[in-house]
Every structure is written in C-alpha cells, then in structure tokens.
Amino acid sequence: MSTRKQFIRSAVTGSMLMSGILHEMLASGETVTSDPLAPRAPHFPAKAKRVIFLFMTGGVSHVDTFDHKPRLYQDVGKEVKLDHPEIKNRPGYERIFLKRPQWDFAKYGQSGTEVSGLFPHIASCVDDIALVRSMRTDHSNHYNATLGMHTGSFAFARPSIGSWVSYGLGTVNRNLPSFVTIAPAQTYAGSQVYASDFLPGAHQGTLVVPGAEPVADIRPQVTADQQHAELAFLARMNHRHQNGRETNPNLAARIRSFETAFGMQSAVPDVFDFSRESDSVLKLYGLERGSTQGFAWQCLAARRMLERGVRFVELIDTGSSGNWDSHGDMMDHARLARNVDQPIAGLLKDLKARGMLEDTLVVWTTEFGRTPFNNRADAKGREHHNWAFSSWIAGAGVKGGTTYGETDEYGVRVAANEVHVHDFHATILHLMGLDHKRLTYRHSGRDYRLTDVAGNVVQGLLS
Amino acid sequence: MPGKASASLILEAVRGGGPHVPQMPPGSKLTDKEIAAIEEWIANGAEWSELTVGLKHRTHWAFVQLPGRVVPPPHKPEVSDIDAFLNRGSAARSFTVAPASDRRTLLRRAAMDLTGLPPDLKEIARFTADTKPDAFARAIDSLMARPQYGEQYGRHWLDVVRYADTAGENTDHPLPHAWRYRNWVINSFNTNLPFDAFVREQVAGDVLAEKVKTNLAAYSEKVTATGYLAIARRFGHDIDQDIHLTYEDTIDTLGKSILGLSLGCARCHDHKFDPISARDYYALYGIFSSTTLSFPGCEPRQQPHDLIPLVPAGMEDAASKARAEKINKIDAELPRARALVIDARQRINAVFAASKTSCGSGEIPDGGESRFTSTPQLLSVQKGDVVEFLVSPLKSHGADSTLLRLNISLPGTRARWSTDSLLDALLDANPNAAGGTSPCWYFLDAKDGGADLLTEKVTSFNGRDTLHAWRNGETPSVFVNSSTTPETVWTTLPARSFFVHPGEHGPVAIAWVSPVDGNVSVDGFIKDVHPGGQDGVGWELRLLRGAAGPLANISAASHRLAALNETRLALEKDAAPPVAYGAREGKAADVPIQKRGEPSDPGELAPRGFPAVLGGTTIRNKASSGRLELANWLTSPNNPLTARVIVNRLWQWHFGTGLVKTPNDFGTRGAMPENQPLLDYLAVELIKSGWNIKAMNRRIMLSQAYQRSSSGAVEVRINDSKHKRNEKVSNGARFQARRLTAEELRDALLLASGQLDLSPGAAHPFPPENTWSFSQHQPFAAEYPTTKRSVYLMQKRNRRMRFFSLFDGSDPNASTPVRDLTTVPTQALFFMNDPFVFECASRSAVISMKVSQKPADQIRNSYKRLLQREPTEIEIKDALEFLSNYKAKFGTLQERRAAAFTAFTRMLMASNEFITID
C-alpha cells in the first residue's frame, strides 16, 4: 500500500496535469487485494534478477555456428547410415552424405572458444558466454520443438517460461508488464509461446511488434486535457458506484487499474523512445537513428525494459517463414546472422558497461540444430536435427568463457554431458533463484511445473 | 515383488539408493517409520491401486451412490427447499442475511445470467410494476424462452468441452463444419433437451441416429452431436501419428466434462490419487480407438475426410429432385451460352489480329525488375481503343508472380489511369453484368493470341481479407494485396500492390479501354516477386484499335457462362449431402495397456469398459465400439457423478461459484462440497424431473439466496455452547457480483451502440477446402469480424484473438470449468484507447443525441440504454459539467459537442457499473 501511494505521489510530482485525479485516488484509500504481480522472494538467493531470452526461429545449424567439427570438412560427401527422424521413410533420403560447413571457425578471447565466421561480433564476447554444445530436444518438428523450448511441453499448451518466471518472482514496475515478447512476426505455435495458459492471466506475455505502435492501445486517442477530464469523471462515477459496495474488492482493483494504465501510457512509449540514447550506443547495436525495425531495435528496447524492471524479455528474431530453416541453401544463414550478430554483441557489451550483466541473465537458443548431412553430397541446405544443437547463456551467475558438453566427431549426436531442454530450463530457473521442482502450480488436480517430471541443473555452467 | 521385501528395489531406493536404483524420493529421505510401513506393505503382498486405493475410495463422497431421496430440513412453506438446506442449523447460528435485491438489480442479474444481455428499461419497468407473487418466475420463464438463453448457457458448455473452430495441430487447420455442433449445443439448451439425452447424443449420437433414420431432422441432430468427440484437439505434423494424444484429450475431456474426474492421468500409470487404473484408462481408450473421428486435414494431408453425412444413406432422393430439375434447365441453356462465348472469341481474335501494334516488349530475369515506357512515348488513341499489357511465362509459368504498375496519363491534363486505382477496387473492375463500376480495365487469358476473360472472382484468397483475385483456375490470374503491410503467401507480396501471374500455356493480360481521344503516355514498373523459379517473365505492351466493342461482348458472354456454371456447381454441391464434423463407429477392438503411455510399449489387453470404482463393467456388444453402452452408463441413475457434476455447474453458472469449488474435479483431490445434502438433493431432483435443466434453473433462481443483494457484509454468528465465533457466510448462499465475461462485454458494447446482430451465426467464411495448403510456416491465421453475438466468433486454437486473451476468454485447448475474471491495467487501456470502444461509443452517442436537443435528455437516454436506469440529479449535473468542460479542439460546434458526448459515453462504457453484474 505504502509503495503504491509512494508511486502515485511521485507520479503527482511528475505530472501537474493529473494531480487532481491522482489525489482523488490517493484519498480513496482502498485496500490492496492479493496482487499476482507483487514481487516475490526467490527460493534461494541468486544474482540474476531478470532475463533476456533470445530465440532464433527455424533451427540454427550448430555445425556452422558454435560447434566446430573439423572432420566434417575432411569427410565431406562420405555416406553415413543413421536412423534419423527426418529421413525415415522419406523418399529420396534412402542414402545420406556428410555436408561440409560453409564457414570457417577461429578461436576467440582468452578462453579460446571456437566460433564460426557467421558471428564475428558475438565471438568477441565469448569470455562472458557459457556455451552448451550438447543440447538435445525431443522433437524434429518446428511446432513441437518451439513449444517445447518455451513451455517444456512438446505437444500440449502449457505456460511459457516467461510466465513461470513472472509467477515465481513477480515484478517491480507496475507501469510495465512483467513479461514481454518482442517479435516482428508470430513464430511456430503462435501465441502459445508467450501464453500463461493455466497460470493467472497477469503472467501472460505482452506482445510487442516492432514498428511505429509496438503495444496495442497504448497511445492516447485524445488530448491530455481531455483524458484528464475523462478519467476524473470516470473516477467520480466509480466512487459513487462503490458506495455501498465496499466489500467487493474487484471494484477498487479496477479503479486502481485505470491509474496504472494511465502511467503505462507514458512509461511504455518511453521505453521505445530512443531519442536520448547516444550515437555511440546506437552504433554499438548497429541501429540507425530513427529506425524501429530489426533485431538491433529489439535488443535496445529489451535493455530499456530491463532497466525499468521488466522481469523477462523474450526477443524472437523472425516469424514462421523466412527464418533459419535453411533447407534450400545454408547461405541464407548469413542474412539471418547479420540481422542478430552485432545487436546481440552490442547488447552484451552495453549491459556489461552499465553493470547490468551482473544481475541479468542472457539466454540464446533456437528450437533445434540442423543435420550435418543431407541426401546429396552437393546439397545446399540442411534438414532439422533434434539430436544435438548449441545454445548459450551469459551474465549473472554464469561461468563465462566456458564450453560445456560435446557432440561426436560429425556433430550428429551428443557425446558428453547432454543438456536436454528440461535441464536447460532447470538451469535458467536456478540462476533466477528458483528451484524448478518447487516452482509448481496446482491445476486440474495436479502440481504442474515447467520441467514436467525431469530436469537437472547444469552445475558446469554456474560461476 | 509382492511378499519379498528383501529383494525390493523400492526399499533399496527409499533406504537411500544402492547399486540398482538412486535414492527416492530425491533430496529428502523417508523416516524409518515410513520405510517400515512400505516394508510391511510389500511383505503383505503389495496390493495396489485397483484393490487398495479402490476400496478406500469407494467411500469418497462423490463416488457413493446418490440416495433415493433427500429430505430437506423442516421449513415454513414460503421458504424454498434450497433455502431450507442453506439455512440449516440456524438454531445454532444467527444470520445477518443480506436483504433481497431491488427489482431492477434482480431483473438485470437474471437477464445477464440467463441470456448474457441486459434487459431494456421497459422490461425493468414492467417487472417492477408486476407485484404478483409469481412475477419473477414468469420473468425467468420469459428469459429462458429467448434464443439468447441457449447462446449463453450453450457458451458455458462450450467452455467445458473446449470448443474451437480449428484443429490445433501444427497448422491449426480450420474446421468448417464444427459450427453445426456449436449450434446444436445452443439449440439443445433452447429446446431444453433433457440432460441425459444431451450427454448420450454427444457420446453416441451416430449410433442413436440409426434408430430414427426416417426422421431426417432428428437423424441429423444426433449425428451433429458427436462433434463433442470430433473437436478433440489434434496434435503434431501428421496427426494420425499422434492420435493417442487425441484419444487422451477425448478421455480427459469426457472425464472432466461429464464425470468431473481427471482420467488423463491414468494414461502412463495408475492414477495416484483417484481410483482410476491404467486398465480403466485403456478400457475407455479402446472405445475411442474403435471410433472413427472426422479427419480435419493436416500439413501432409490437407483435405478433410470421414466427415459424417447428415442424411442417412439411401434417404437423399426426395430433396434432390427439385435440384435435378434446376440443373437440367441450366444444362439446356449452356450450349447457347458456350456458343456465344466462342463467337465473341472469334470476333475478338480477328479484331486483335488486324489491329494490334506492339509498343514495346522485354524480359526480366528470375527475381528481376524493370521500368518501361511505350514506344513511341505518346500513343495516339481514340475512345474505344485498347492498351494491353501482357506478361508471359518463359520456360515455365511456376513462381512467376509478377508485380505490375501500369500508368496511363493524358499529358497536359489531370487525367490519369493506373493499376493503383485497382488496389481497393479490383473486384469491381473486369466489368460484368453483376454491376462492375470500373469500366476501364479488363483481365484476360491471352494464350494463343486470344483474349478470354478471367471470370473467377476470388475474395480473400489464402484466408487473408486483403488479398483478392480474378483468375481462371489457379493461373492465369491478376490479384492485389490491398493491405498496408506485406502479406506472405506462396511468396511475400509487398504492401499495396497489383500482381499478375501468367498461365501455363500463355500470357496473362490486362487491357485498358480508353475513354478519351488524345495522345496518352504509358509507363510502368514490373518485378518478379517470386524469385527461385527457373526463369523470369516476358512482357509486351500493345495498342489495339477499336477493340472495346469486342471486349465488352466477350465480357458479357463470358460472365454469363461463368454465372451459369457457378449456379450449376452450387446446385451440385448442394446435391452432395451436408456433413457434420463428428464421429462414427470404427473397427471394434480392445487395445493393450500402453506402458508409461508409450504406444510402442504394449502390455496386456484391456477389455473395453468403464471405471471399476464407479460400478463400471466391460461392454457387452463386442462388435460395437461400446460408445452407446458408455453413454447409457454415464447417464444411468446409478452413476453417482453425472447428475452431481451438472447440478454443481448449474449452481456455479447462476451464483458464480459452485457448491463444489472444483467443478471439473470431484475426485479425492478436488474440493469437498460446501453443502453435500443440498448438492445431492439437487442431483436427485434433476433426475426425478427427467433431467430438466430449465426446471433446475428456475428452482435455483427462485431461492431467496439467489435473489439476495450481493452488496454489504454478511456474517454468520455461531452460537454453540463452547465457541462464539463469526464466520463469513458461504459463497454459495448468495449471488456474487462479478465482472462481465469477454463475450458479455463485447455483446454489451455492440448492443449499446446499436450494432449487435441477434441472428444466429452459421458457418465461418473459411477458404474452400480444395485451396488449403496450410503449413507450420504458413498456418491458418485468418480472422473473421462479425457483429453477431460473440459465441459465434471464430475461435482459433493456436492464435487466440487478443480481445479474448485480454478479458479472460475460455481456453480452446483445454476444458475451462471456471472463467477467472481478472482486472488488469491493459483492460483499462482498452477502454481508454482502443478503436473498437471509440467506435461503439461514437455510435451510441449518435443514438442518444438524436432523441433530443437537450443535453440532459441525451444523458438520461445514455444512462437508460447503457446502465438500464435513470441517472440521479447529481449524475446529470456531473455529466453536464463534463460535457461543457470537455475541450474538443476541432470542428464545428456540432462536431465538438459530438466529441464530448462520445467521450462521456465511452466513460459510461468504462465504468465499473457497466462491466459489473450485481
């Protein structure tokens, strides 16, 4: 209650215009009911207070990016026999051959982590990154694998990881949502990847679409004077109505929701107003001043949200078409990498420079990898590969400069220290101070959790 | 290993792990006492689940048979039985019972409850003036007699059965026939179909229909009811591969919706908490795997099949006779119509051959683009001359979608004609007898030097309401993307653009008929927007002297022929019997238990039947799926759950919360009933009444509890000898004020603004099945706006409408037993800034401002229509002040007043009173 009053007071000083209505609201003195977004203590102390989840749609090839397989260059065209889900009973795939990556790898940083020429900027940050080369997922279909990476469920609609974190920790800025997904287009599985499902609706991800109006209904359609008059009139109506109905807490909560909404109208556009960002910051991200498109815009918007207390920001780079799903030609990876490489590196460097990497967790992942082979020795593309792929985390609580796990000589199967999607989720929650086995929600007679009945925290990634 | 504790892996695990197993439970070790108990249990034979748990759970309140009769506590005749149950024990307690609601509040509550729409002020006045004791009973009956009752209560049931208009698999295929089930549910509430029949028909309507084959209406209704089974969610890429998940979803929904039990948990193991064994689960599974569900289509197999005809086989004749006659009549006309087209074609070919002059040509490579101008730069034309632009395939016509901008102008004047003008008027061009208004432009199939009109008009292709086309078959075609954003279909179509696609055997052409005499300048831009084909396209610009007449001729003849063909096709399509998305009997067979829920790991066979703990048996007719026996077992008076579960839902739908607060879970993990004698009494009465839902609604609503005021604190004082304490009265004992649901809110806004269309919804305008090519990259994602009631909006599984997410709509992927009605700031933003609210407010303001010139009367009108009451003097004064102080900046005095009144209306719509039912 006191926090709320404090916030209103600070809003009053900041806005002469609204002082009347805000004083009216302060005077109403309604009691605060249980608030699903109120900040909650983690299960145990943790460094990470917030998350940026970078999701590359379509399946990024691991052997062309973060998992260097020299034998794949030597043995190009060699026939292999595999009982692989993507070739089984598929006409034309009776025989398969190793395919050479089209980019060379080099060692970077003090850690000497190998990264391909697709990501020269991210490569310059490897000492802050813990790279996992032994990811595995359950499904080789975009839809199922994307759903799995976001919800821990490969078939059924379940709450998104962002909703779980919001549910576990709440949020500190009530003028902004706790969980935001910034995506230029819908990825596979549509709105299910940011849905709260059975968790309370307040934990639903708010969709931000890059462009002139990133959040629906945020721009006032009337002048400030007019809105002031409207909200004051509404408050008078609602207070008259409340008379005799004091026991209904929803009426008070709804009156309060209009004050919060009023604050959001300036807080949300403020997030997307980059005019005070310096040229050097824009340059770091590779963002042209005035542009509201591309991954650079998304990354800078994400940093500004985190600064303002948003708990979980997911950035999705592309929609369900025109993405990393390079069946036709792996060279298309170059275009997609260019869109994200400098912005991601810029984000890491910017967070570090501001000291925010100390308490921010950055996650980079995709739904699955791509096959180190194809049905012709000269095939240009690669198919879906769920047996092994690469992902990385950086920032709070993360052991930078590490590589964890490995695949076999061709990058076909995990050879050591497998990290299943459930393990990855358990580790992310752990870094946020949440025990994935204790973060549960009772729904239709059962306690559900993000990691279903599996998941182990990957200790090797922790600092 | 029963009897041998020493060899037990369980004991090894709970003792802290060992060579064979890790420690269980992980983290915390059990106490010695607990371990000893397990040891003893194993030594005694390790009886599990079906016996141990089953015996224990047969005494669980919900699994105990309903008593033959439940006698209400003694009470005065003016007190209802329900109130007598609620008031029981009042000797030991003293109530401060809430007073009865006022008449207006009561009628508004009842109308919102039963129809989802507020009453109008006249109805309230009539009800308030009606002092007869049965006034409320008559009001209830009159509300339940409206079609809107079925829409409201049908919506409740659609929540429970997770109704959706898409399949939910990776591409979210549309279900064009599911609406029949939706409407069947609505009609069943309206006709007050007894609830046992309602359940039986949903589970086994197709089997029941066989007994009423001669009654076509009854037959089709029963078949339609099996949509309950077919709307099960589908999973994955090739949905038959994951059909076991669909059966699980069916069993889970059957359990929750009818029995109030989570049966799905028993797929992988015996249910831990409820007495449902894996054997019980696979006994049900066999029933559904012996059933054929309509196939909705999926990415590898796009077209639906196994749709269920609504007319029994062999009964189609009577209706089809009249259709056959119409078809014969058309067939008689067709030869003449065809001859006219051939004649027109010959004439136009002759004119074209004689009069054409090429004014430029070229080729663009795959993905290439080019600007062009005519040679010479100015073309001298007279009225009726034609400028034609042709685009031809080179090696292949695949991937040849071509963006085209053609500009024609008369230098020195402002006269200008451009394909840009077609972006919003494509379907009005290509003039035809049906009222084309843009006479300049014709779209032609120009193969073999000809000029056949493209006669197939396609609105909203690929399910996008901004994409329109004229075509003959797939190609050749001309089309537009009228949207301000690019649309990705087979390729990305840039925003606000015009396109052509040549045919397999020759060019596509657009022809412009000059309405002027003079020297016109022709230029433009052409671009291959579908790179990745074998080649680009060729283009040519031609001038055709005096070709307008022949063009008009072939246009008229072609459109006439096309119309005849279209009518014929529609008649033929009608001739195919209508179908339901439903279920029919499949190949009857028991299935093995799937160990850990994996179809690849079969165990012993589970004979088809029903859960043992509920007195279930195996099915008798082994040649059938067993659904009819299942349906009869579910609705048998001996089934302890079905009646209890539905009366609890009815109580919840009236009061806001049920007597059992977990309406989908009556198992041992669910909530205990607040007043079991009352619940059992209602269940027994329901069965006694012949499962009469409307009678139960009336009974519940006529209780004093329902009619009490929802405001003010109510306390119950317990005066027993030992303790003196106060406790809150149970939630069920009076109506709980609540927010409008998403549907109620949208309907209320449409109603207030005079937009609500109360006619029932039917099929959604999905693209035709033969055009489907949905993929996980390009899933079905259309939206179909309508001003009909919200229950008729198309509901997608994988892409929910924002409005429904915002206002806590039902989950189309899983049974929604209770709507969580949240209050969040993004909802406030909706009222402050959303265009939909602005439009509704503006329309409502227009209505109120028409009634009088006096602002006070206008305010009164708005209060009456939006809040169903007169405003107080204070409210009128407040509103008048708001209107006079509202500083609208622009426009005439009239416009400024309208802006202020619209703002006032919008705030009424945003008010707590508008969105709350007391």
Provide DSSP, A407-421: E-TTSSSEEES-EEH
pLDDT given at position A356? 97
Burial of B204 (0-12, 13-18, 19+ CB in 10 A): buried
Q: For chain A, how many structural domains are there in total?
A: 1
Residue listed under structure tokens 């329902």: B706
State phi, psi for B852 to the nearest 5 degrees.
-165, 160
How far is Cα A98 from Cα A105, in angstroms, rounded to an integer?
18
pLDDT given at position A32? 39
Q: Is residue A331 part of a domain?
A: yes
Residue B151, Ramachandran bin (φ over 0: left; ψ between -120 and 50: alpha; else beta): alpha
Q: Which two tokens stand for residue B374?
A: 């005519």
Residues A213, A171 contacting (CB under 8 angstroms): no
pLDDT given at position B399? 82
Asked if A89 has any chain B CB less than 8 Å from its own CB, the reply is no
pLDDT given at position B114? 98
Q: Is residue A136 part of a domain?
A: yes
Helix (H) or strand (E) holding B381: strand B369-381
B685 Cβ contact partners less than 8 Å away, ≥ 6 residues apart: B696, B699
Minimum-distance CB partner of B777 among A237, A240, A320: A320
Boundaries of domain holding A112 = 36-214+292-461
Q: Is residue A256 part of a domain?
A: no
Q: Is residue A234 part of a domain?
A: no
Residues of A in contact with B713 (CB under 8 A): 247
How far is Cα A24 from Cα A233, in angstroms, rounded to an integer?
11
How far is Cα B818 from Cα B795, in angstroms, rounded to an integer?
18
Residues of B in contact with A186 (CB under 8 A): 781, 799
Q: Which two tokens stand for residue B329?
A: 């009549």
Residues of chain A predicted below pLDDT 50: 1-33
Residue of B nearest to A246 (CA): B712
pLDDT given at position A5? 39
Residues of chain B predicted below pLDDT 50: 1, 47-55, 90, 433-437, 721, 723-732
Q: Count H helices, E strands: chain B?
A: 29, 27
Burial of A376 (0-12, 13-18, 19+ CB in 10 A): middle
Minimum-distance CB partner of B822 among A156, A200, A238: A200
Helix (H) or strand (E) holding B152: helix B147-160
Q: Is residue A245 part of a domain?
A: no
Partners of residue B487 on adjacent β-strands: B493
Residues of A in contact with B814 (CB under 8 A): 156-157, 198
Asked if B22 has any chain A CB less than 8 Å from its own CB, the reply is no
How far is Cα A192 from Cα A205, in angstroms, rounded to an integer?
10
HEC string of B565-597?
HHHHHHHHHHHCCCEECCEEECCCCCEEEEHHH
Measured CA to CA in angstroms, residue A24 lies from A232, A266, B172, B454, B832 at distances of 8, 20, 49, 66, 19
pLDDT given at position B553? 87
Instruction: CATH number of the domain at A189, please.
Output: 3.40.720.10
How far is Cα B752 from Cα B543, in angstroms, rounded to an integer?
57
Radius of gyration of chain A (CA): 24
DSSP designation for B294: P
Q: Is the ipTM of this complex over 0.90?
A: no
B433 Cβ contact partners less than 8 Å away, ≥ 6 residues apart: B556, B559, B560, B563
pLDDT given at position B48? 47
Asked if A44 has any chain B CB less than 8 Å from its own CB, the reply is no
Contact flag A446-B832 (C-beta cutoff 8 Å): no
Residues of B in contact with A195 (CB under 8 A): 800, 805
How far is Cα B884 from Cα B375, in angstroms, rounded to an integer?
65
Gap between the terminal Cα atoms of chain B: 61
Measured CA to CA in angstroms, residue A83 lies from A54, A94, A144 at distances of 31, 11, 20
Measured CA to CA in angstroms, residue A183 lies from A180, A187, A193 at distances of 10, 8, 11
SS3 B99: coil
Q: Which of B254, B829, B880, B913 to mutate to test the interface with A (most CBs of A within 10 A)?
A: B829
Asked if A177 has any chain B CB less than 8 Å from its own CB, the reply is yes
Name residue A382's amino acid.
Answer: R
Q: Is residue A28 part of a domain?
A: no
In 3D space, the residue among B247, B238, B231 whose CA is nearest the CA of residue B294 turns out to be B231
CA triplet B885, B889, B892: central angle to 5 degrees? Answer: 100
Q: Is residue A122 part of a domain?
A: yes
- Give the Cβ contact number of residue B820 at 10 Å: 9
Minimum-distance CB partner of A144 among B236, B808, B834: B236
Q: Which two tokens stand for residue B368?
A: 């290439």
How far is Cα B200 from Cα B208, in angstroms, rounded to an integer?
8
Residue listed under structure tokens 């007597």: B659
pLDDT in tens, A47-77: 999 999 999 999 999 999 999 999 999 999 9
Contact flag A226-B903 (C-beta cutoff 8 Å): yes
How far is Cα A299 from Cα A122, in angstroms, rounded to an integer?
14
